[in-house]
Structure 1
Amino acid sequence: MQRLRSVREINSLQPLPLLHNATINLLKTSKNLLAFSGGGDSTALFFLLLEQNIPFDIAHVNYQTREQSDVEEAYAKKLADTYNKQLFTFTCKLENANFEHSARKERYTFFENIIQEHGYNSLLSAHHLNDKLEWFLMQLSRGAGLIELLGMQEIEAREHYTMIRPLLHVNKKTLQAYLENHKITYFTDESNTSFKHVRNQFRHHYANPLIENYAEGIAKSFRYMEEDAKRLLPHQATRIKDLFLLPKDEDDLINIRHIDKIVKLLGILLSKAQRDEILKTKSCVVGGKIAVCFEEEMILIAPYLKQAMEKKFKERCRQARIPSKIRPYLFTSHIDLSALRLDHTL
């Protein structure tokens, strides 16, 4: 393992223009947690954050799947000690069946517990342009609209924190060059070369060759599509705790796009069947967890609860035209009903 550079050496480097200025400014005023694996992408982001004097700590998950898993954890500890970062580690052993899904669930549960316990504002991940194109191509092959095709965004609001992907506009080749030019140690996960995972097939056969030849144009196209996506979603929802009030549009395509984003914030990715059910019924419970109810001018979205309520409260909800599926959440959350009358535009 190569010698780690001192903080003075890091600060003396000429920073590469890899991070957007707006993102840098946001991160400098935020308490940040970096998801760190020890791979090339997260290691490059670690040192880029150092160069910009952005405050952050790191979280590392050891899945014990490879011989070098413990070495990667040791590297995370060495970086944390060298650069005075707090390190959170989690070790788990998962079954091979549906490993990727289980691993994602475990690590985000771990990250979100840290965020809530220690008061972090932002979770940083090292997803890059190749990852974004890989997702785009996978969704394109399955059938998807613009919002689904775009997938992850550089800055994305979650329930209790902001997800930030500062490298989403940078291609993998540029990150590799950065690591090599500065002689930075990182590790390679051999599972990323296995074609048993569909995402790896898309990555190696389609996404990487396209990025290799057309990186600048692809990045520009994503910027154009993101601007178009904003025009597809002209309304903004009002959030009160985990209750969302969304102005109803005449176009159900716009409605379902908004609902899709809101429900994702609450922890559920909608399937096509669930989207169809929402638009057909205009009042349903998604996955047994989230109520989606259309009213004359507003769509209400909230966690679905079964809760006995006082008769007086139910009568007030009826007078305020609040759907029955939404009422238990309002009751348990002590939300002021006076702001929720639905017989006029909010």
Structure 2
Amino acid sequence: MQPLPSLHETTVSVLKQGKNLLAFSGGVDSSALFFILKYHDIPFDLAMVDYNMRAQSKQEVAYAKTLCAHHDKTLFLHTCQLEASNFEDHARAERYGFFEKIIEQHHYDHLITAHHLNDKVEWLLMQLGKGSGVVEMLGFDEIETRDTFDIIRPLSHISKQTLLDFLQAQELQYFQDESNDCDDYTRNKIRHKYATALVQEFEKGLVKSFEYLRNDAQLLMPRQYQNIKDLYVCKRDAHDLKNIRQIDHILKKLGILMSSAQRKEVIRTKECVVSHKIAVVFDDALIYIAPFQTHTMPKDFKELCRIHKIPPKIRAYVYSSEIDITALVALSYKLLS
């Protein structure tokens, strides 16, 4: 009998101590993760997005409803219709926006996703082809801390084939997304030509290499930032390479993956809005990062910001989020001390 894919004990312990929401699609990855979590007696509910792009999606939704009915789970379902152009980016934004809304409304501690080892290898190869550094190539962590919840990826060390073997051996239902077979997308092309064969040949070595690379990255790029809500402040380094690594890391936490052109723009201008969403502003000693907003603000508030050198592009978020400027100033001093 095919053995149950093994999760890390630390991850299982974390999941058992919180309220969990599983991002579910009905595909191989999330279907396998559903039953693996069940085996470990980890409590969770399901969140699913139907993009109305494929006829099969209605069957996948019906499957999710059946699973929830049989296993006493709550299903949160979001349906939408997105434009075909730049679909993957728009779908990701729609998906995570929905997840975060559910997490906030129902007080979940963790969002569980079914990213696996093949996903890590595909991402590494994509970034390698773009000329990226270690931080970008590593991609996602198994446990990633956000401001109000954690994203947990229990399968990050397990291959897709292992998950498929498990489902087939247990005769468990799953769906195959036919769009994954199309090489029009760069990631699919990398998957079919390189990544799948690489994982099949060198699975154990790849797992170990990612562990070493993650430890090396933490030594090279220690955390040098603090945050209040979605306002991040990091210590400015004399080397812009280190600065952009910190900014990359923070923007990823805020749901933005910068392109090479955007990184160059950040370094060149030292004050810009990335993807029309996130303001990044350098001053002499610090870098401020926050959602970009525009609001009418009281004159005394703007004067207080001026006195404490809060950058103009950051002020509207500080105001709308009711962030205590005294606490923000104390945070800045902590970074510089």
Q: Percent identity?
A: 52
Question: Which deviates more, 67-76 or 169-178?
Answer: 67-76
Given residue 244 of structure 2, which amino acid in structure 1 is its aligned partner?
I
User: Is the aligned partner of 1:217 residue 2:205?
Assistant: yes
What are structure 1's unaligned runs of at least 5 residues? Answer: 1-12
Is the CA contact 1:34–1:59 (under 8 Å) kept in the aligned structure 2? yes
Cα distance change of structure 1 residues 281 and 18 upon mapping to structure 2, 3 Å threshold: same
Q: How many residue pairs align between the two structures? A: 334
Counterpart-to-counterpart distance in 1, 2:66 and 2:147: 32
What does 1:71-110 correspond to in 2, within 5 Å? 71-110=59-98
Which residue, 187, 191, 202 being the options, matches 1:203? 191
Q: 1:23 maps to which residue?
A: 11
What does 1:126-275 correspond to in 2, within 5 Å? 126-275=114-263
**Greater CA radius of gyration, 1 or 2?**
1
Is the CA contact 2:279–2:292 (under 8 Å) kept in the aligned structure 1? yes
Question: Which deviates more, 179-188 or 283-292?
Answer: 283-292
Q: 2:51 maps to which residue?
A: 63
What does 1:275-314 correspond to in 2, within 5 Å? 275-314=263-302
Cα distance change of structure 1 residues 309 and 191 upon mapping to structure 2, 3 Å threshold: closer
Question: Which deviates more, 54-63 or 15-24?
Answer: 15-24
TM-score by structure 1 length? 0.88
Counterpart-to-counterpart distance in 1, 2:82 and 2:294: 33
Given residue 227 of structure 2, which amino acid in structure 1 is its aligned partner?
R
Q: 1:4 maps to which residue?
A: none
TM-score by structure 2 length? 0.90
Residue deviations 1:127-176, cap 9 Å, x none? 11011101111111122111111112211233543221110110112112
TM-fit CA distance, 1:88: 1.7
Which residue, 104, 116, 121 being the options, matches 2:104? 116
The SS at the match of 1:104 is: helix
Question: Which deviates more, 231-240 or 125-134?
Answer: 231-240
The SS at the match of 1:43 is: helix
Is the CA contact 1:34–1:58 (under 8 Å) kept in the aligned structure 2? yes
Q: 1:42 maps to which residue?
A: 30
What are structure 2's unaligned runs of at least 5 residues? Answer: none
Q: 1:316 maps to which residue?
A: 304
The SS at the match of 1:34 is: strand
Cα distance change of structure 1 residues 243 and 61 upon mapping to structure 2, 3 Å threshold: closer
Counterpart-to-counterpart distance in 1, 2:280 and 2:96: 25
Question: Which deviates more, 280-289 or 110-119?
Answer: 280-289
Is the CA contact 1:278–1:284 (under 8 Å) kept in the aligned structure 2? yes
Counterpart-to-counterpart distance in 2, 1:83 and 1:135: 34
Is the CA contact 1:38–1:76 (under 8 Å) kept in the aligned structure 2? yes
Question: Which deviates more, 95-104 or 199-208?
Answer: 95-104
Counterpart-to-counterpart distance in 1, 2:265 and 2:312: 18
The SS at the match of 2:38 is: helix
Question: Which deviates more, 299-308 or 77-86?
Answer: 299-308
Is the CA contact 2:3–2:166 (under 8 Å) kept in the aligned structure 1? no
Is the CA contact 2:32–2:163 (under 8 Å) kept in the aligned structure 1? yes
Given residue 22 of structure 2, which amino acid in structure 1 is its aligned partner?
L
